[in-house]
Structure formats: structure tokens, C-alpha cells
Amino acid sequence: MANSRKKVTVDLATMAYGKIPPQAKDLEEAILGACMLIKDAYETVCEILKPESFYLDAHQRIFRAFERIVNRFGTIDLLTTVEALKQTEELETIGGPYCLMKLTNNVIGANNLMAHAAIVQQKYYAREVIRVAAEAMQLAYEDSTDVFDLLDTFSSDASKIGEMSNGAEFMDMASGMFKFMQETDRKALITDDIIGVPTGFKEIDRVTGGIQPGDMVTIAAGTGDGKTTIGLNIAQYAASLPIPCPVAIFMLEVPKEQGMQKLVTSYTSSQFKNVRRGHLTDSERKKIQHAQADLERMPIFIDDTPGINYMQAKAKLKRLIKRRAKERVANGLNPDEKWLVIIDYVQLMKVPKNDHRQTKEQDISEITANLKIMAKELGIGVIILAQVNKQVKARNKGNRLLLGDIRDSAGVEMDSDIVMFLYKPDNNDNNYRIAEIAKHRNGELLTTKLQVEFWRQKFFNPGEETKKEETQLSLPIVKPTEQFDDGFEVK
């Protein structure tokens, strides 16, 4: 597994060509002395500093002693600090009582305490940057290092430093009301109490409330039952909402060009075989040309890297989200968006550095566990499409699927918040599929029927009026000639 990579220990004192690591020992001494002499000094600096913020080990031990004193509702002063260090047998390690007395002699006052603490913390961040970069550099020289694993780890570690430097801030009423009204406006444009990203299928949205941020939804079906089609239908619906939801699609089974063909087909109600072969009728050509402007505007991003592993997918996705946010800020738009990710399909995804000692089921369990972590970490909805076992047809007990029918299913079932099956009705009518929510962590189960017309690659609600000319919803699509440097194709 990716987390089994050995920890690299780097000596801060020698990593930067003999340079002394960033530090501010005099300010550290002044802060520690102030905490023992000035009332509420510790409460002031503990908002910024933690023990690791201090460069000297002795100073870290003293600050931890302050924490223990406060946690016992005590008052920090010279005597209580001596006693706290005695209890942990650290008093002599830090230099004895004389060292603490010397710290109190360096106190000037409390006026610049916050400024001093900020400088000490900045030095700590600088040391962390050096540590992370040095670890990455050392690993990069090792032949056994998986470079994609390294890139993802380096990116994650660097992001954590940035998050530490920003900290968690209070939200004032002005910014709080801005976000509240923005979310209220978004919800007002969506009916039926949908609080997540809607799928466009009424009964499914009624039961689920849409796909929630942090949720992982599995859609499982047999070959030819429409996994890819329904995934792309959900993508186009989400991206065509009044407030569009960006969608990233990892297509592991078919090339991105085929995904584009399916998107165009379902939007324009053209014959898929004509679109795929390029033999369009005059009517189909006009419909596609008429739809082109809308198709190019919307945010669907497709990656078809063969054999991609979950760490590579996560790294690509984070770069894509970050780049889109920057572009939106540059255009005066809100960078915060509800993202949806679709994996087609999960059994084709790889694990990093697979030594082949794991079974396929263990691989899939590792993948789904990490995709669920990704959903929670990034606050996005993740849809994974999954194959079912071929032995299902041999049961001779109708077409209904069970949770155990998902191929390599242990991890898929356990990690998913929702598991939905697609299968033919028992009369084998190919114009319909049963959509059954067999697992729902936060709500009720459901069995409903969806109508499907594979000639135009489209699932829809039964009884929903089908039109040869679609209403002019904005549907995202990608252009094959322009790419992000992370592999996603975009307009």
C-alpha cells in the first residue's frame, strides 16, 4: 500500500548545504519568560504557537509543561513550571531551575508578544518547508520510489503546511450571510428538497436528496446494462444545472472520444451509431452544430489514462480543482463549487506499487477505501461504476442483483454510502432498467424503473416526454485539442 513507504529522517542542521535552519531563539526565550511572568501571556500565544513551533528541544519541553499546567487549571509561573518539569523528569534535561530563571530575565513586556509569536511560527513553517522538500529530494534519488506516490505525498505535505499557516478563522456575520444566501439561491433553483447534486432521476433524487459532498455512490450493473450511459447522463444533468456542477470523469474502459460521442448523442438525440461512424444525417449534423456553443461552455473534464491508480487520480483531480478555482477568481467568479467525480469503472483502477501479493479483492478494497477518503477530504461526491459477476445469470432466479454480486465486492459494499443496481426487468424488456438502491447509509431503500433508449444513449424517468429536439440546456463537453497539463481534457 502507498502508506507503507518508509519514513525518511532528515537532519535539519545539514540539509541545506550547512546553513543554519530558520530560527528565532531570542524571541522564543522572551515568549517563554513572558508566559511565566505575565498574566494571560500563554493564552495569547497559544492561539498561534504549539510546542513544535519552537526550535530548541528545551523550549518545546517547557511549552508542553505550560500546556499540562493549564490543563490542570493551574497558573503558570516559575514554581509551577519547575514542578511540572520535575514530574516528567525533564527539569535537568532543559538545564535546571537556573535555565527557567534566566528566561524570565529576558522579558521586556507584553506589548509585542503576538508579533514575536508570529515570527517564531513563521520560522517553524520555513523549517517545515525545508524538511518536506528535503525528504522529497532524498526519495527522488532512490530507484525504488514510485514517482506518482512521491508527487502525491509531496503535494499533500506541502498543502498541510499551507493549511497550518492559514489556520481556522472565525466566520463573521457578513461572510456567513454571503455564503448562506449563495447556498439558499442554489437550493431555490432545485426543486423537491434536493440538497446535494441531483441525478435527474426523480425517485432516486427523492430518496437520496442528491449526491452529497463526501458521499461515495456505487452504480453496479452487468455488461451492456448501461453503467457508462447512466454515469454520463448524470454528469450532463449535473453540469447543466442553473448553477453548474463541474464533473471530472475517469474513463478506464473506453477512450475519451467515445465518451464525447455518447455525450453529444444523448444531448442531441442523434443515432449513436451514426455519431460513432461519422455518417450523420443532415438533421443530425444541424442539431450538433446548433448545440456546439452550449456544449463547449460547460464543465465536464475527461481523463482516459489507462491503468491509472487512485493516488494518480487524486493528484490530477486536486490540480484540476485548484486550476479551475484560480481561473474563476481571475474572472471574478466564486471559486467554491460542488464537484462530482465519476470512475468508469472501479475494477479497472490500479493500486500504487502493487507487489502482486494482494488479491484482486484486496486491491479493490484499498481503492474504494481511498476513494472514500478522497471524497471526504475534498468535500466532493464520488460515483464509482462497478461490474457484477458473470455467474449471476446462472442463478436462474430472475435478473435481480444482490450486494454480493458486485465483482470483488467486499470493499465496494463496505465503503459506499449508496449502492445502486441496474438490471433488466424479469420480462427482459430492453427499453427499461430496474434501478434498485440496495444500500443507503443515510436513508431508505428504493426499487424503481427507468426508461432507456440506447440508440441515443439516454436514461430518463418513465412517462417523461421524449422529444426529438432537446430543450436548450447547457451540456458540457470537452475538446480533443486542448488539455490541462494534468491529463484532463477541457474546452
Rounded CA Rg of the chain: 29
**Would you state the pLDDT for residue 477?**
40
Task: For domain 2-166, say whether CATH 1.10.860.10 is its number.
Answer: yes
Helix (H) or strand (E) segment spanning residue 174: helix 173-188
Domain ranges of the chain: 2-166, 186-460
Per the CB < 8 A criterion, the answer to whether 178 and 146 are in contact is: no
Task: From 120, 129, 125, select the one nearest 10 (Cα to Cα).
Answer: 129
**In terms of pLDDT, which residue wins out, 449 or 471?**
449
Give the whole-angstrom CA distance, residue 114 versus residue 46: 10
Check whether 461 has a pLDDT greater than 80.
Answer: yes
The sign of the torsion formed by the CA atoms of 85, 88, 93, 96 equals positive
Cell matching residue 178: 454571503
Q: How confident is the model at residue 340 (pLDDT cuts 50, 70, 90)?
A: very high
pLDDT digits (tens, 9 = 90+) for 102-117: 988 877 777 788 889 8
What's the pLDDT score for residue 54?
A: 94
Under CATH, domain 186-460 is a member of which superfamily? P-loop containing nucleotide triphosphate hydrolases (3.40.50.300)
Q: What is the pLDDT of residues 390-439, one digit of tens each?
A: 777 666 567 888 888 888 766 787 888 899 988 888 888 888 888 889 88
Q: How confident is the model at residue 341 (pLDDT cuts 50, 70, 90)?
A: very high
| Residue 11 scores a pLDDT above 80 | no
Q: Please check the confidence at residue 182 and state whether its pLDDT lies above 70.
A: no
pLDDT at site 119: 92
pLDDT for residue 472 is more than 60: no
Answer whether 435's CB lies under 8 Å from 421's CB.
yes
In this predicted model, what pLDDT tens digit does every residue of 59-74 receive, in sequence order? 999 998 998 888 776 7
pLDDT at 324: 86
Q: Is the pTM of this model over 0.75?
A: no
Please check whether residue 289 is in contact with residue 268, taking contact to mean a CB–CB distance below 8 angstroms.
no
The 3-class SS string of 423-452 reads: ECCCCCCCCEEEEEEEEECCCCCEEEEEEE
Confidence (pLDDT) at 491: 37
pLDDT digits (tens, 9 = 90+) for 226-280: 888 999 999 989 888 888 889 999 988 888 888 888 888 888 877 788 877 877 7
Structure confidence at residue 473 as a pLDDT band (50, 70, 90): very low
Is a pLDDT exceeding 80 seen at residue 354? no
Determine the pLDDT at residue 471: 40
